[in-house]
Copies of this chain bind each other. A is one copy, B any other.
Amino acid sequence: MSVSVQEADFDLSAEVAALSDADTGIGAIATFIGKVRGEAHGNKLQSMSLEHYPGMTEAELARIEAAAVARFHLTASRIIHRIGALQPGDNIVLVIACAPHRHNAISACDFLMDYLKTEAPFWKKETGGDGHGSWVDARETDDAARSRWHSGDA
């Protein structure tokens, strides 16, 4: 279990290997990567800036990860979230969940992303093709997605 908040990109294969190479109890590894898309709400995106709440972010991510480990009996897990200036196509977030069997690993990825999207203190500001910057609005569908897991579980 570990979480990182960083400007640097991550290497998917290296992160998976670090988590799983030494443990032959792991039969299933699910990963999720979120990337910056080239369009936002039908408008071309020039760049994105990610702000966070230092101190609180790490605490929230660790809390969310611990909830997933307990709920899905994970053997290992990892969350990396990037901050700072990002371009279309750049990676934003990586979650990895390792478990003996597949459904727990895949469900844990789903759960981690739903909680991360609604509880981890990150904020995106998008700069469009016209150079105009605007803060991204939170999506009600993200709250609805989290509530699938029953409120208060993480």
* Contact surface of A with B, Cβ cutoff 8 Å: 11-14, 16, 20-21, 24-39, 88-89, 100, 102-103, 105-106, 109-110, 113, 145
24 pairs, A vs B, C-beta closer than 8 Å: A11-B13, A12-B13, A13-B13, A16-B33, A20-B35, A24-B37, A24-B89, A27-B34, A27-B37, A28-B32, A28-B33, A29-B31, A29-B32, A29-B33, A30-B31, A30-B106, A31-B31, A31-B32, A31-B33, A32-B102, A102-B113, A103-B110, A106-B109, A106-B113
Q: Which residues of B contact A36 (CB under 8 A)?
A: 24, 27
The 7 A-B residue pairs whose C-beta atoms are closest, nearest first, are: A24-B38, A13-B13, A29-B33, A24-B88, A27-B37, A12-B13, A31-B31
